[in-house]
Chains A and B, each alone.
Chain A
Amino acid sequence: MTDNMKKDLSELIQRCLSNNDDAWHELIDRISPLIFSICHKMNLSRDESFDVFGQVCVRLVKSLGDLQSADRIFSYVTSITRNQVLSFFSKAIRQSRIIDESSRQDTPPQGKTPEELFAEMKRNELLLEALGTLPEHEHKLIFALFLDPSEPTYEEIAQKLNIPISSIGPTRGRALRKLYRVLKRKNFEF
């Protein structure tokens, strides 16, 4: 992460700690793809993923001020999400829930080995963590282009972000190249 990216993230976290709701919503936009991706890779259902999301959020709201450094937020979120998912499974086993064979069977889905699934999960986490570190305006654009479920048009994106349509291409290019460089430094497997 560059110094500017770290500074941007640090400022966002400070705004959250100042009880700025907009800042919290922006932070959630940065970390929730990571949370839901982990849940998805661990084969949780939609409702279960939402349950884990709430658990992670309350932990984050209570402990955000204890983070030693802003750039540790993604590893922290990854860690508590995984712990919540494992806790979820432990509880399900204790309660002897009927287990959906398609999601909990010994044979991994799609014929992949556990090692392959783990590598895939780690790779995805790395990508989403890196995405979360982009400066605010670039993150918002990449989010709108790739993650916004309403799949906005370029006109809608320009209006929402209050930018000229002509700036979308260059900003997208800069953001993607930045993301690429961050991932290259982390030895991401493209």
Chain B
Amino acid sequence: MQERTEIIDKLFRYVRGELSETERKQVEKRLASDTELTELLALITDLHQQRQTTSWDELYKPAHKLLQRLLQDTRKNTSEDEPVHGITIFDSNLLPQPEEIRPAIMNSRRLKYSVGDWQLTVTIYPSSPDSCELIGQLEGYQESAPLIVKLISKRMKSVIRANEFHIFRFDRAPLVPFTLQFESGGQVLAIVDIGL
């Protein structure tokens, strides 16, 4: 067992290029006659390459931050008798900005929410130091009654009727947390908390 642990350690260092010339030749001589060892080397090499092949370093932390928001939003849905609460499933602000792009171009923010059977996509464009333009679409909504969208914050309330594609626009949304409330036929269907 000890001997096996030592050879695996050497394979690990072999993949990382950390062996001396002598050690490397010893390992390669051993590999030439040991199928299991060769296969273990292939396994270690595959694992070693995972970090390099999937943008993993850029996605690891955002994935966990998104998960935390998703779990918090999910817990707002406590009863089927109440309006659905939107669950965050994408936020462009969680991802690191590409190095070559000027920050001004990247000020727009894209958000996506799972809202029951529907999906809400929202794009936010800052238009002044304290306000933004918000364009959204509730995909999958198929009711015939018009979709009314209310933007509610501590200081303002604004009401818009979505068009036939369920696209809506608020030209002055506040740059503070607010809620989008979706209504149809006088009934509140869904609530989405937008935390900016």
Contacts and interface: CB of A to CB of B under 8 A. Distances in A.
Contacts of B190: none
A128 B53 CA distance: 13
A15 B44 CA distance: 31
Contacts of B44: 176
Interface residues of B, number: 46
Given A47-B92, A61-B74, A183-B43, A24 B58 contact: no
A153 to B, nearest CB: 13
Given A28-B67, A173-B4, A57 B89 contact: yes
B71 A55 contact: no
A61 B59 contact: no
Interface stretch (A6-14, A70-78, A105-113, A142-150): A142-150
A42 B117 CA distance: 26
A51 interface: yes
Given A51-B112, A61-B70, A46 B95 contact: yes
A170 to B, nearest CB: 5
Nearest to B110: A47
B5 A173 contact: yes
A146 B68 contact: no
Contact of A146 (B47, B64, B71, B75): B47
Nearest to A56: B89
A19 interface: yes
Interface residues of A, number: 45
Contact of A142 (B40, B47, B66): B47
Nearest to B77: A62
Contacts of A36: 54-56, 59
Contact of A57 (B42, B43, B46, B66): B66
Nearest to B48: A146
A173 B6 CA distance: 8
A172 B12 contact: yes
A147 B58 contact: no
Contacts of A28: 63-64, 67
A46 B40 contact: no
Contact of B112 (A54, A131, A151): A54
A37 interface: yes
B55 A49 contact: yes
Given A19-B75, A21-B68, A176-B43, A53 B63 contact: yes
Contacts of A179: 43
- Of A19, A32, A50, A179, most buried by chain B (CB within 10 Å of CB) is A50
Interface of B: 4-6, 8-9, 12, 36, 38-40, 42-44, 46-48, 50-51, 53-64, 66-68, 70-71, 74-75, 87-90, 92, 94-95, 112, 114
18 contacts: A19-B75, A21-B71, A32-B60, A37-B53, A40-B54, A50-B59, A50-B95, A51-B90, A62-B74, A127-B46, A145-B12, A146-B47, A147-B51, A149-B61, A169-B8, A169-B9, A179-B43, A180-B40
List the 4 shortest-distance A-B pairs measured between CB atoms, nearest first.
A54-B89, A149-B57, A190-B39, A173-B5
